[in-house]
Structure 1
Amino acid sequence: MTSPNLPTHTPPEPAPATGAQGRGPSKTRNAALVAMFLAGAGILAYLGWSRPAQLRNLWASLTRPLSPALMAADTGPRPPADRPPWDGLVTLKERGRASMGIETTNVAPQTDPIRLELLGTSEYDSETLSQIRFMFKGRVDKVYKTVGQTVKKGDPLIDLYSTELAETKSAYEIKRIQWTYDKNLLDARKLLVQGQSIAQQLFAETQNSEMKSRREYEVARDNLLVYGLSEAEVEEVKGQVGSQKARMTLRSPADGIIITRDVVVGNLYDEDDTLLVIAPLDHLWVWGNVFESDIDLVHLGQSWEVHFPFLNHKLVGKVEYISNRVDPGTHAVRIRTSVPNPEGRLKADMLVRGLLDVPPVAGWTVIPRTALVVADRQYYVFVKVSGQADKYERRTVGVAQEKEDHVVVETGLRAGEEIVSVGSLLVAQLYDDLKTVQTGAPIGGGANVDER
């Protein structure tokens, strides 16, 4: 008889059977594992038949023992104080360079000149322009030439009428007549003074008068020459009467072409008005634009190959002038040369292309364009460190010129040094990654591209 105050004992449930009826789940799992194994074996067999090289590489990578660096990395990050200091170099072993396609080459000295490509225009030589203007106030009666016409020296340009000119001619005539009278009187009194027929004092006064009138005559004659009359026209003045003295023809002082006309028949003009401008055709100026960054490469006397592309015409000149002003819009400096134009084919304001030769400079070097890395507005290359196997340093260089296939370097490299020529961007990425972690990289002594 049991007591109602005692807890009732419940017997434990029986354990699952261990016989054939109790092995169902284990059998299912084993079948799944077998199926997975067979599938993996099939994949490996297929890879071994179709891609044996990839299979060998996969097997080698799975069976290769871990490097000490990676084993150290597996233990977790080390404190910064325990990490070895980075020497700022990138290690590129031979097999690693080959696998990444990295190539190196030796720095070459500069032997060929730098050729600066310039754009510019042609222009008439402003220092040889002839400006036709009156030297006095007058009226235009006729204009013989217009813009674009060529002229020869001595050709008539403008007929004018001027009362001021007439007065100057009349003054010249008066001075000429007075000097002629005094000269004849002096010649007569020379004979008289030799025969002592007149006093010596009177002869001296006659000499003085002749000298004075001759000087006044010469001044009046020079005034006409300054006004633009030729020697022959001055001689014709003595035969002119009435309004003929007020007329004059302005003639071309040189061969050339009329490039400016600012004159109208019937208008009055004075010495401040430019009526015509004549430009010589025997030569032209050529202006070129040099970028501000290249101006240190340009010097007076350098050879300049000038091309007129639309005429298929090429000339060679010398740099004659370098402007001391930088254009604020283009940041370019203008340079100038003179080119001959014997046939008159060249015109002003024509498009010009030029090649300016900059002679080689001692100490400058040439490297492939693919070796240069640009970062933070600086130019870099990776140079093999002398005496350290497979070590490369990042070095800042000064660039004189960049071309499509090469770069001329003015500072930072020496001829004969070994640099990374292909794959420099990959090396730069390794460098940047290592720099990002500073000295915390698991591999010491620089980023390594080794045989792995």
Structure 2
Amino acid sequence: MAITKKQRIAMAVIVLVGLLAGGGLLLTERHKTGEAAEQAEAAGHAHKEGDGDDKKAASASKEAHEEHEERSVKLTEDQVKKAGIAVQVAGPAKLQAAAEFTGEIRFNEDRTAHVVPRMAGVAEQVVANLGQSVRKGEVLAVIASNSLSEQRSELLTAQERRDAARVTYEREKKLWQEKISAEQDYLQAQSALREADIAVRNATQKLAAVGATGSSVNLNRFELRAPFDGTVVEKHLALGEAVKEDASIFTVSDLRTVWAEFNVAPKDLATVRVGQRVSVSSTAFESKVQGTISYVGALLGEQTRTARARVTLTNPDGAWRPGLFVTVSVYGENQDVALTVPADAVQTIENQTMVFKAVSGGFEALPVKVGRSDGRVAEVVSGLKAGDQVASKNTFVLKSELGKASAGHEH
């Protein structure tokens, strides 16, 4: 049977529709498969990211725990008592406002002497060395001086004349009393003895004025001695060197006290007064010393247009060396501060300002930000809250123990 043209067209349409339907199904399946794969991949990424976040969180928690351990100092109550560590509650207090000035440590000029020979001559011995501690009256150098020789000769001559005048006086006095000689001879002998006494005293005082004694085997030997206990801070003399009578050959200073000097601008003169309490500190070391202003200049410097102020500091250990730059905090009126700790509670550890908070089993070093301080209490700006108990005395013990713990942890 022959297939008509219409039948062939109908069959072609049916085949075409079937092919289109099959391709659509295939695309749909591929699309679904792709979506499923994408979802699976996204789920895998999410799982990985979740694992990463968990690891990061675990790592951060571990680091925080280690940091907490590194800042902890384990001490029993008995150990705390034996170390003399006191605990105080952080809270409000009155704090003296302080104005800070830059200053410098200088010699106490009231206890500093420029030693001059007062007699020209040549150095025969140089006993003292630079930096040597000397006692009052100790020989610094020996100088041979012709001028001294002449003065001692003058004294010896005056003493001989006085002795002769005394013999004459005693003889004339006896003769006058026995009515053998005239009273005039007795009075002349008496006058001569008085003149001889004056000559001896004059020669003796000349020697005393230059620090020399009248008795010496060598008439020209001059012993230069320390005026007081101190340290030789300058030396300008060598063996065999000729010196003038006014040459400053030694400088001796008593370094047990020094001056902290600073300049005060005219606007601050109303707040800087003699007797005011100050605190002196230096960036060279952690030590801080309290004192009072002993002098404020009445005149302004021509160059600086500032007044010179001074604090006299005791310096038993010699830590405050002349030439050291310092900060002088001058305290004024009391002010109410919301959160403070004792000044001794604050320690600097690895360039961080910290306090030791009392915790169970010991102390924990907490980084804090401090503000004003008057040497007795320090303002806490952040890092601590009112009511926290902190170590307030002998905190250097805790700092030392923390350093040992850190060193052990590193090993």
Q: Are the counterparts in 2 of residues 139 and 269 from structure 1 also a CA contact under 8 Å? A: yes
1:57 corresponds to: none
1:166 CA drift (Å): 0.9
Structure 1 segment 229-308 matched on structure 2, within 5 A: 229=212, 233-234=213-214, 236-237=215-216, 240=217, 244-308=218-282
In structure 2, C-alpha distance between the alignment counterparts of 1:202 and 1:311, rounded to whole Å = 81
* Greater Cα shift, 253-262 or 213-222: 253-262
1:207 corresponds to: 190
Structure 1 segment 1-400 matched on structure 2, within 5 A: 113-229=96-212, 233-234=213-214, 236-237=215-216, 240=217, 244-323=218-297, 324-326=299-301, 328=303, 332-359=306-333
Structure 1-normalised TM-score? Answer: 0.50
1:404 CA drift (Å): 7.4
Identity of aligned residues (%): 20
Per the alignment, do residues 146 and 193 of structure 1 end up closer, same or farther by CA in structure 2, a change over 3 Å counting?
Answer: same
In structure 2, C-alpha distance between the alignment counterparts of 1:197 and 1:308, rounded to whole Å = 86
SS in 2 for 1:117: strand
1:115 CA drift (Å): 1.3
Where is the strand percentage greater, Structure 1 or Structure 2?
2
1:326 CA drift (Å): 4.7
| Structure 1: gaps spanning 5 or more residues | 1-110, 369-402, 406-452
Q: Are the counterparts in 2 of residues 281 and 344 from structure 1 also a CA contact under 8 Å? A: yes
Q: Are the counterparts in 1 of residues 103 and 263 from structure 2 also a CA contact under 8 Å? A: yes
1:302 CA drift (Å): 1.2
1:336-356 CA-partner distances (Å, limit 9, x unpaired): 011112343332112322221
In structure 2, C-alpha distance between the alignment counterparts of 1:165 and 1:194, rounded to whole Å = 43
Q: Are the counterparts in 2 of residues 117 and 356 from structure 1 also a CA contact under 8 Å? A: yes
In structure 1, C-alpha distance between the alignment counterparts of 2:226 and 2:277, rounded to whole Å = 35
In structure 1, C-alpha distance between the alignment counterparts of 2:278 and 2:264, rounded to whole Å = 12
* Structure of higher CA gyration radius: 1
1:274 CA drift (Å): 0.9
SS in 2 for 1:203: helix
1:137 CA drift (Å): 1.6
2:36 corresponds to: none
In structure 2, C-alpha distance between the alignment counterparts of 1:314 and 1:289, rounded to whole Å = 20
* Greater Cα shift, 120-129 or 168-177: 120-129
In structure 2, C-alpha distance between the alignment counterparts of 1:326 and 1:136, rounded to whole Å = 37
Q: Are the counterparts in 1 of residues 264 and 307 from structure 2 also a CA contact under 8 Å? A: yes
In structure 2, C-alpha distance between the alignment counterparts of 1:316 and 1:250, rounded to whole Å = 38
Q: Are the counterparts in 2 of residues 155 and 252 from structure 1 also a CA contact under 8 Å? A: yes
Per the alignment, do residues 185 and 335 of structure 1 end up closer, same or farther by CA in structure 2, a change over 3 Å counting?
Answer: same
1:197-236 CA-partner distances (Å, limit 9, x unpaired): 322111111110011111011111111111211xxx42x2
In structure 1, C-alpha distance between the alignment counterparts of 2:337 and 2:285, rounded to whole Å = 37
| Structure 2: gaps spanning 5 or more residues | 1-93, 339-369, 373-411
Q: Are the counterparts in 2 of residues 327 and 333 from structure 1 also a CA contact under 8 Å? A: no
1:141-188 CA-partner distances (Å, limit 9, x unpaired): 221123222111122111111111111111110001111221232233
1:25-50 CA-partner distances (Å, limit 9, x unpaired): xxxxxxxxxxxxxxxxxxxxxxxxxx
Residue-pair matches, total:
247
SS in 2 for 1:335: strand
Name the aligned partner's letter for residue 290 of structure 1. V
In structure 2, C-alpha distance between the alignment counterparts of 1:290 and 1:167, rounded to whole Å = 53
1:65 corresponds to: none
1:291 CA drift (Å): 4.0
Q: Are the counterparts in 1 of residues 108 and 255 from structure 2 also a CA contact under 8 Å? A: no
1:3-59 CA-partner distances (Å, limit 9, x unpaired): xxxxxxxxxxxxxxxxxxxxxxxxxxxxxxxxxxxxxxxxxxxxxxxxxxxxxxxxx
Q: Are the counterparts in 2 of residues 147 and 258 from structure 1 also a CA contact under 8 Å? A: yes
Per the alignment, do residues 314 and 194 of structure 1 end up closer, same or farther by CA in structure 2, a change over 3 Å counting?
Answer: farther
In structure 1, C-alpha distance between the alignment counterparts of 2:192 and 2:229, rounded to whole Å = 44
In structure 2, C-alpha distance between the alignment counterparts of 1:148 and 1:138, rounded to whole Å = 25
In structure 2, C-alpha distance between the alignment counterparts of 1:145 and 1:367, rounded to whole Å = 55
Name the aligned partner's letter for residue 207 of structure 1. Q
Per the alignment, do residues 185 and 303 of structure 1 end up closer, same or farther by CA in structure 2, a change over 3 Å counting?
Answer: same
1:372-409 CA-partner distances (Å, limit 9, x unpaired): xxxxxxxxxxxxxxxxxxxxxxxxxxxxxxx979xxxx
1:367 CA drift (Å): 12
Q: CA RMSD in A?
A: 2.8
Per the alignment, do residues 180 and 355 of structure 1 end up closer, same or farther by CA in structure 2, a change over 3 Å counting?
Answer: same
